Structure formats: C-alpha cells, structure tokens
Amino acid sequence: MTAIYLISACSKPTASAPEMPYTVLQPPGIVAAPFAPGLVSTNHLEVEGAFGHDMKTFYFLRQVLGEPSSNYVIHYRNGAWSEPEEITTGDGEVFISPDGITMHVGNHFRDRTNGGWSEPKSLGAPYDTIPIMRLTASRNGTYVFDERDETGTLRYSTVIDGERQSPQPFSEVINSGEWTAHPFIAPDERYLIWDSERDGGFGGGDLYISFRQDDGSWGPAINMGDRVNDEHDNTYGSVTPDGKYFLFQTIDLDSETPSANILWIDASFIESLKQ
C-alpha cells in the first residue's frame, strides 16, 4: 500500500443534526462520484474529508504536487459554500464528535468555543505516546483509533460510570492484514468501518465493515465491495452525520499522474452488506 500519510446499514443520524443542502454539492447516487468538483475535488491531491456536526463545515487535506500539504475548511453560508480556507489543525486527522463540541486530531483535541475552536489539548496518558492518525468517537464516548505503523492496530476505549477505560485492541477479526487504519465507529456503535490490505481484496487497501452482533461482539470483516474498492488504495471511510452518504478516498501515487480524490456515494448499500 502506498502510504498517503506521507502527504500527511446507515447509522441512525443524531436527532439534532440539521439537513444539509446537498443539491449545492451535486449529491451522488448508487455510483461513487467526486465530492464537490472544482471546490474540494480538483487536479491536486485531496484526502481526509470530514463533515462537521452541523453539516455546514467540511474539512480536508490538499497537496499540490511538489509542495507541502495543508488542511482546509469550507463553510456553507448564505446559500453557498465558501472557497477553501487554509487552517492549522495539528498532527493527525480531523474528526468532529457526534455532539459537535469536540474536534479530535490524532492524540489531541479542541473544544468548541463561542469563537470557534480552542487551542489543542492533549488526550493525556496513554494516548500521548501512541502515534494516532485517526481517532473517531461514538455518541456514548467510545474512542476507536489507529496507529501509524505498517501492520496497524485498531483499539477502542469505552466510558463506564463516567470513567474512561484503558484502550484495548480489537480481536483478529478486525486487526488482520497490513496497513490496518482509519477506523470509523458509527455514532450508535452498530458498525465499524476501516481499511486494510488483506488476502482476497481488490489489489490495494480496501474498505471493510464489521457489524455489532446481538451478543455485543463484532461480526466478521466484510469487504465493502466494488462500489468503493478497486485496484487502488481505497481508504478513510465514514458516513455523513445525517446517515445519508458514505465518504471515502481513492489514492494512486504510483502512476505517471498521481491522484488522490475524495469520493462519496449513497450510503444505502451499507445495509445490504449486513446480509
């Protein structure tokens, strides 16, 4: 797998999540399409797309070939999306908590304030010694996160009686293959999505999903199929806060014309994977 790190079922929506005016962004159907062509998706390298809770902010990473990568945000205001604004987020990948009050970036976080976001704060031990790329959280406060290494280990940390528990690795059902990374835990914890290189895949990194079973365990790792996977690296999956669309990225840095693109697709296909 070519590491993009060098350039750096639908879940039930939260009741308070507002409706986002998708028509402005040319929403996709059952075939994956570039996200926000000309605004986010360009002829540069764009990855790590993440909506804010209010569906009116969108964060992503862009790199112009031969130059350093930068984080950007676009805002929906007065019936239109703004031009990308360069921002500083710190080392890690942006995830906004389901309640919208916390921005997780690697092993740091920022609190929502009246003026925007606070200065970065450490998650503390043991997270400050773990090379976290992406940390996502459920509505119950469960953390699911990865590590920046070749094999990759996904871990989780629950909250019991108000106390955060020590991180634990998932079983081999999840932690198999290589480059296992970029987890996304559904807000209601009904499923877990991640990417990995495994035998029987489509060629590069593929997106996988595991559904929570009736006994609380995680079901088998299911390849998400050719709607989102191909011979390139297909990674960084997530579902929009309203549960309608599935976001992911496809990366090909080995060709004469390297590409990295954020795509999205109607998320209704996720439920069929459970069968």
Looking at residue 66, its pLDDT comes to 85
Least confident window among 12-26, 40-54, 101-115: 12-26
Average pLDDT of the chain is 90
What is the rounded CA–CA span in Å between residue 81 and residue 205? 32
What is the rounded CA–CA span in Å between residue 27 and residue 36? 9
What is the rounded CA–CA span in Å between residue 174 and residue 198? 11
The vertex-201 CA angle with 197 and 206, nearest 5°, equals 55
Looking at residue 21, its pLDDT comes to 55
Average pLDDT for 66-84: 92
Average pLDDT for 133-148: 96
Q: Band of the pLDDT at 54, cuts 50, 70, 90?
A: confident
Q: Band of the pLDDT at 24, cuts 50, 70, 90?
A: low
Q: How many other CB atoms are there within 10 angstroms of residue 207's CB atom? A: 27
What is the rounded CA–CA span in Å between residue 181 and residue 199? 16
What is the rounded CA–CA span in Å between residue 121 and residue 108? 5
Q: Band of the pLDDT at 8, cuts 50, 70, 90?
A: very low
**pLDDT for 20 beyond 70:** no
Q: How many other CB atoms are there within 10 angstroms of residue 172's CB atom? A: 9
**pLDDT for 17 beyond 90:** no
80, β-bridge pairs: 77
Q: What percent of the chain has pLDDT over 90?
A: 80
Amino acid present at 137: A
Looking at residue 23, its pLDDT comes to 57
Torsion of the alpha carbons at 263, 267, 273 and 275, rounded to the nearest 10: -170
Q: How many other CB atoms are there within 10 angstroms of residue 219's CB atom? A: 15
pLDDT tens profile 224-263 = 999 999 999 999 999 999 999 999 999 998 888 899 999 9
Looking at residue 234, its pLDDT comes to 97
Q: What percent of the chain has pLDDT over 70?
A: 91
Looking at residue 19, its pLDDT comes to 54
**pLDDT for 274 beyond 50:** yes
What is the rounded CA–CA span in Å between residue 139 and residue 52? 14
Average pLDDT for 212-216: 95
* DSSP per-residue letters across 235-263: EEEEE-TTSSEEEEEEEE-SSSS-EEEEE
Output 62 or 275, whichever has higher pLDDT: 62
Looking at residue 14, its pLDDT comes to 45
pLDDT tens profile 163-186 = 999 999 999 999 998 999 999 999
Looking at residue 2, its pLDDT comes to 36
